[in-house]
Amino acid sequence: MVRGHAKSVAQQKNQKKAEERRKAGSKNTGDDKNTKRALTCKICFASVIGEKALKEHFAAKHIGKELKLGDYGLG
Ligand SMILES: [Zn+2]
């Protein structure tokens, strides 16, 4: 479980970096802000692009699990 936690921390760091970059270039992203964002599933660490893909991923792979959008900086 420790290994998983370390991975999660590293991913949070990456996510923070991505967010900073997104904020810096917010002029270009506009209404596209959440639709093309790279996200990593907190359960299986699969990479998906955008909130919609994440929801579809949960529906397909994690049936019955609660998708907490806040964990992904969404919602
Ligand atoms: Zn997953």
CA of 32 to the centre of ligand 1 (A): 23
Q: Check residue 29 and give its pLDDT.
A: 45
Domain hosting residue 55, numbered range: 2-72
Number of folded domains that form the chain: 1
15 Cα–ligand 1 center, Å: 17
Q: What is the pLDDT at residue 24? A: 77
User: How far, in Å, from the CA of 75 to the mean position of ligand 1?
Assistant: 18
pLDDT for the residue 52: 93
What tens digit of pLDDT does each residue of 3-36 get?
667 778 888 888 888 888 887 765 554 455 556 8
**Ligand 1 center from residue 60 Cα (angstroms):** 9
Q: What is the DSSP letter of 75?
A: -
Q: Work out the mean pLDDT of the chain and round it to a whole number.
A: 83
Residue 55: count of CB within 10 angstroms of its CB: 14
Measure 27 CA to ligand 1 centroid, in angstroms. 31
